[in-house]
A and B are shown apart, each in its own frame.
Chain A
Amino acid sequence: MTKRFVTTKVEVEGRVETKIAELPSRNPEPWTDATELHVVGQRVTRMDAIEKVTGSARYTADIQLPGMLYAALLRVPVPRGRVTSLDLAPALALPGVRGAISLDDLPEIKIDGVRMFGREIVYAHQAIAAIAADTMEIAERALHTVVCEIEPSAHVLTADTALEADAPKLRKHGNAPRNTPRIITRGDVDHGLFDADVTITREYRTPCALHTALEPHGAVAEWNGNAVTVWESTQGVFNTRSDVADAFGLSLTQVRVIKNYMGGGFGAKNGASHATYAAVALSRRLGRPVRCVLDRKGEQTDAGNRPATIQRVTIGAKRDGTLTAIKLDAEIPLGAGGWLGGPGRIYHELYRCANVHTTERFAYVNSAPMASFRAPGHTEGNFGLERAMDALARELDIDPVELRRRNYAEVDQERRRQYSSKQLDECYRLGAERFGWSQRTPDTRGTGRIRRGVGMSSVIWGAGGGPPAYATVRINRDGTIEVLTGAQDLGTGARTVMSQVAAEVLGANVSDVRTILGDTERLPFASNSWGSITTASVAPAVRVAAEEARDALFDAAAGMMDAEPQDLEARDSEIHVKSSDKCMCFADICEKLGDVMIIGQGSRGPNPENTAIPACAAQFAEVEVDVETGHVRVTRVVSVHDSGRIVNPTLAESQVEGGVLQGIGYALFEERVLDARLGLPLNPTMHDYKVPTIADVPAIDVVFVDAPDVVANHTGIKGLAEPPIIGVAAAVANAVTDALGVEMNEIPLTPWRVRAAVTRA
């Protein structure tokens, strides 16, 4: 008997976890460079574009059910304190108000370690109750009638103050999360610094950034007997199902979670949220469907963020640029909860260096909990490390690209693993060529009001995906095909690329293949769409399922066509007998089969052992800086990516452009501002929290190395979603530094910060 279940390592957002994989029914030969593919690699039009341009795509916030009520959350305007009294009666007395819940009406639920609707307030705009009414307007008006008394107490907002012995405590054991400060070390950093010819020390600061997905967090819940259906704007339907079942003591068969379309996630929508639990609890109590969708202020103040960092960096190097030591001491105020994504890991991964020591001081503070945000940790860490490398290049008078090449990491040093494939060197080569890196001269900087500069940055990100993931492929009696898998399409194009993979295997027209995602009741498991893992995790399962279905279809066709299955081939939804003109289309074959349904099942096999699977990128930016106003304009970006095989260049380019633009937002505009004295967010609107507009877009040149990673998995695919944001802020800040001759070590590079730097110079 062969072994069916094995353990394997899966890397998600820098965390390497041990997972169990169910070995697939077959292990196909990898699609290599030499494999002739007809649908995979093509610019297939996004398959849900029609629904989106006609407005018929139904998002969670669009769900309307008969008798549905609208729920709003009551939030408190202090960052720390205790709710001493809460009277919901005036709200309940209003016409149109149907119910309200607070702490006592909920099971014990913790979100990011904070008790939902708890009476201990640990951040501003924390929710303490929910009200359901006939309309949203009534629900919102009812919030203002609630009588609530809060005893405020002293709050703490920064990591250094939170870690002081007498700081107000957010957790019984103090404000340092367990196992922190997190210290990761290899070699002997002091020895490395002693060996260095040149040492640089700098402090870098990155802001707290908000996801600002256009569709807020939200859910619609409807109970049917003892079971509940939840429509949720989520990156993980199965995670959300577990969260709801755990909270309300239900079995998994009693909870169905559906996500059809969602208006952006970017990392903040990985499970049930306040809105989910409120909708489920109110719906159960009131016996009616309830929609709870955050308003914009709620989304901007209590729906996750990328935490700010302070990174103190010391790098030692030989005269020739060889790194001898990298040292980081970082402070990360997480907010009132969250996980330890930190800036440290990239310091261990990006360059060859024997002596690396990182200290990450995480702290709980009285602001809203952080959440994963597109390449959490690496985006922050990249800014510090790649700014420091730029400073070192200047100090040594070595070209920044050359300095990076001289310290190229051939293996994953931190975890002592080989790379499945790593084309970062090719990204440097292509990027420098496309950007015209070698053509830059001091003369191009200018001396007048407008100064120009260029900068670059390198990116690495674990993006291999992995098990478990399942897919089913069904062939209907009209010859059309359905791919079923419980993954999610966030706007990434998962629906389209899974259809392409199935069409490739089956020899079908891609327009005949429909991929169905995001429903726990109907679909086999696939994990959260996070960590750039979806395509590399699910596509191999789809390939196996499609192969099973294809073999069954060929068996059926062989009988009808008086041929052997191995003599058949399929193309354009037709099966041909090789070296003959006999041909049947899928529809005719399936019609003859009647209601026989061909079904293929596939699972995602294990990852290669002791192997890191990196996505890489080299990102180049050119800026213009107005020294009088301090205004920075990014004029050109070249972003070169190794993400293994590219399934759909059009969708991939769109995703890279989007990531680059979010990176520009992070570099130039985006910063949640808290009032230090009051602890309140000062810019919880889209006017005051600036995201890039169409007028901020530079020329973006997206390039793919497009080399299948045949070691990673049999499709050769690696992840792409997060790498495009990682290096942008450093590349832009390096370019502004180049333009001004003044180091820009804190983002966002707002006009006043740039003006202050110009004045200092």
Chain B
Amino acid sequence: MRLIVNGANHEVTAPAHETLVTTLRERLHLTGTKLVCGRGECGACTVLLDGVSVYSCLTLTAACGEQAITTIEGIGRADDLHQVQAAFVEHDALQCGYCTPGQILAAVALLDEIGNPTEADVVRGMSGNLCRCGAYPNIVRAVLSAAESRERPSA
């Protein structure tokens, strides 16, 4: 089948029961997406499917044909960071970094949905993503700051 990942087409032969996180990590070598719980409890495997955040550990690859899949590798590059990535760096919204790709994709989806979120919106929108290092206070700051910088794109 054809998968569209970060704008590129991939021919993939995967069994019908294979989950997207496995396809991304093991077949396409896109290891930025992390597998942590494998059952939709932690959010580390979050990717975007047509712009909507999904847990890739609960998403069947076979169900993703013709939809645009965005992983952390497609969000921004080291020399061209997405606003959310830049805000995570600036606010130190990470420690070990293992949950970070999932956090960032959840934040991108949240900001696409709610352009100008309140702190309560951020807490609700990010509550499906666990961080054991406890970077949460800085994650809230980073997402609010990214929202602000989107409001003022010329800044």
Contacts and interface: CB of A to CB of B under 8 A. Distances in A.
Interface residues of A, number: 57
Nearest to B18: A137
Interface in A670-729: 685-687, 691-695, 697, 700
Interface in B17-59: 18, 22, 25-26, 29-39, 41-42, 44
Nearest to B120: A695
Interface string A57-90: 1110110100000000000000000000000000
Nearest to B71: A55
A53 B94 contact: yes
A661 B97 contact: no
A54 B76 contact: yes
A490 interface: yes
A55 B94 CA distance: 12
B26 A686 contact: no
A654 B134 CA distance: 8
B61 interface: no
A522 interface: no
B98 A50 contact: no
A45 B138 CA distance: 13
Contact of A685 (B41, B100, B132): B41
B122 to A, nearest CB: 8
Given A135-B26, A695-B127, A53 B92 contact: no
Interface in A630-683: 650-651, 653-655, 657-662
Contacts of B104: 53
Contact of A697 (B39, B81, B94, B140): B140
A137 B14 CA distance: 12
A70 to B, nearest CB: 9
Q: Which of B71, B100, B126 has the most CB of A within 10 A?
A: B100
Contacts of A659: 134
A64 B29 contact: yes
A296 B97 contact: no
Contacts of A654: 92, 95, 133, 135, 138
Contacts of B30: 55
Given A54-B32, A491-B133, A691-B132, A262 B96 contact: yes
A54 B35 contact: no
Contact of A490 (B71, B85, B96, B135): B96
A138 B57 CA distance: 17
B85 A53 contact: yes
A263 B34 contact: yes
Interface string A32-65: 0000000000000110111111111111011010
A209 to B, nearest CB: 12
A55 B90 contact: no
Interface stretch (A21-29, A210-218, A543-551): A210-218
Nearest to B97: A52
Interface string B74-114: 01111001000100111010111111110010000000000
B38 A295 contact: yes
A264 interface: yes
A55 B88 CA distance: 13
A573 interface: no
Contact of A54 (B78, B124, B140): B78
A212 B37 CA distance: 10
Contacts of A491: 94-97, 133
Nearest to A698: B137
B91 to A, nearest CB: 9
A492 interface: yes
B60 interface: no
Given A49-B94, A686-B41, A694-B126, A55 B33 contact: yes
B151 interface: no
B18 to A, nearest CB: 8
A1 to B, nearest CB: 46
Q: Which of A46, A686, A692 has the most CB of B within 10 A?
A: A686
Given A46-B94, A57-B97, A491-B96, A694 B72 contact: no
Nearest to A45: B89
A686 B95 contact: no
A212 B134 CA distance: 12
Contacts of B85: 53-54
A554 interface: no
B133 A264 contact: yes
A634 to B, nearest CB: 13
B130 A264 contact: no
B144 to A, nearest CB: 12
A598 to B, nearest CB: 29
B73 interface: yes
B98 A263 contact: yes
Interface in B119-151: 122-124, 126-127, 129-140
A515 B66 CA distance: 44
Nearest to A300: B37
A261 interface: yes
A136 interface: yes
Given A48-B97, A263-B34, A695-B123, A53 B88 contact: yes
A136 B26 contact: yes
A54 B72 contact: yes
Nearest to A648: B92
A660 B134 contact: yes
A484 B132 CA distance: 28
A651 B37 contact: no
A694 B95 contact: no
B127 A658 contact: no
B89 A214 contact: no
Contacts of A266: 132
Contacts of A697: 123, 136-137, 140
A685 B37 contact: yes
7 contacts: A46-B94, A54-B85, A491-B95, A657-B136, A658-B133, A685-B41, A695-B127
Q: Which 8 A-B pairs have the closest CB atoms?
A: A55-B32, A491-B96, A263-B98, A52-B97, A658-B134, A661-B134, A55-B72, A491-B95
